[in-house]
Amino acid sequence: MAKEISPDAVLDARGEKCPIPVARAAKWLKTATPGATLRVESTDPASVPDFKAWATTDQRLELLEQSEAGGLFIHLVRRT
Amino acid sequence: MPAARTLEAIPAGLRATVRALVKEEVARALAAQKERAPARASNRATLIVFSGDLDRVIASLVIATGAASMGMDVSMFFTFWGLSVLRRRRRFAGKDALARALTLLTPNGLESLGVSRGNFGGAGARALRMAMKSRKVASPEALFTEARDAGVRMVACSMSMDVLGIEKDELYPGVEVGGVATYLGDAADSRVTLFI
């Protein structure tokens, strides 16, 4: 069973389309302290490859977990 | 007899000295290389917005916002019809006849841009805006604000400003005015460059 991680902050980006989920998470990232975690809730399927690609190119961001349930995409990220 | 080029071919007593010498030489070479080409952690995206078509401008704003969100330094250069995006007002006073005519003929701000296909005198742009709104996509104005808030550098091309009779006080505050070298300076440093 996956370990439940309780994030430091939650971003409700349900209903928002590209590029808003990423832009909102970026605002959090700017002020987040190293090690802080954020749970992003999105209904945009593009957010799955987007957060993956973002974490690959941006050293500040680590993607801890992604999941999908009933059209809701959850991304758990960490400020490195 | 040619000596084998391995450490074992060197008398045991000399090995430590050779090791130290090689290490020293490598360090010296690396330091010299570093001095020649200082490590530039460039992570920039540079976009030229030439078009004043609403659909193309939206694409450029989405890309700029996305790149800035991902931690890239982003520059947008607005030239020719793209300058309309940066316009917050029209001024006729103090311009010659040609500049006044051009001021009247060129769109004033994002709100007055048409789409690249099937605009039908602005109906196409209105339809696109309605479709974006009903699909809950951020409006062009919201995307513009988003890009500015994300720290996107916005530069207006001085030459095309001259040609189209646009002056700095007609642009949003904070917009820089620059030339081709300003663009090339940023572009040369970019991993992503686009002409839209």
ipTM, two decimals, is 0.83
Tens of pLDDT, residue by residue over B92-140, are 999 999 999 999 999 999 999 999 999 999 999 999 999 999 999 999 9
pLDDT(A1) > 50: no
Task: Write the pLDDT tens digit of every residue in B12-28.
Answer: 888 889 889 999 999 99
Confidence at residue B1, expressed as pLDDT on a 0 to 100 scale: 52
Could you tell me which chain B residue has the CA closest to the CA of A62?
B70
Asked if A20 lies within 8 A of B146 by C-beta distance, the reply is yes
Percent of chain B topping pLDDT 90: 78
Compute the average pLDDT of residues B37-66: 90
Residues from chain B contacting residue A57 (CB–CB below 8 Å)? 70-71
Contact A19 B66 (CB under 8 A): yes
Model confidence, pTM:
0.81
The region, left, alpha or beta by phi > 0 then psi within -120 to 50, assigned to residue B96 is beta
- Name residues whose C-beta falls within 8 Å of residue A44's C-beta, 6 or more positions apart in sequence: A13, A16, A17, A18, A21, A73
Closest CA to A41 of A72, A17, A19: A72
Q: Which of A5, A9, A10, A18 is catalytic?
A: A18
Answer yes or no: do B71 and A16 touch at CB < 8 A: no
Q: Which is nearest to B146 in space by CA: A73, A18, A60, A11? A: A18
Give the whole-angstrom CA distance, residue A59 versus residue A66: 18
A18 is catalytic: yes
- What was the pLDDT predicted at B158? 92
Report whether pLDDT(A3) > 80.
no
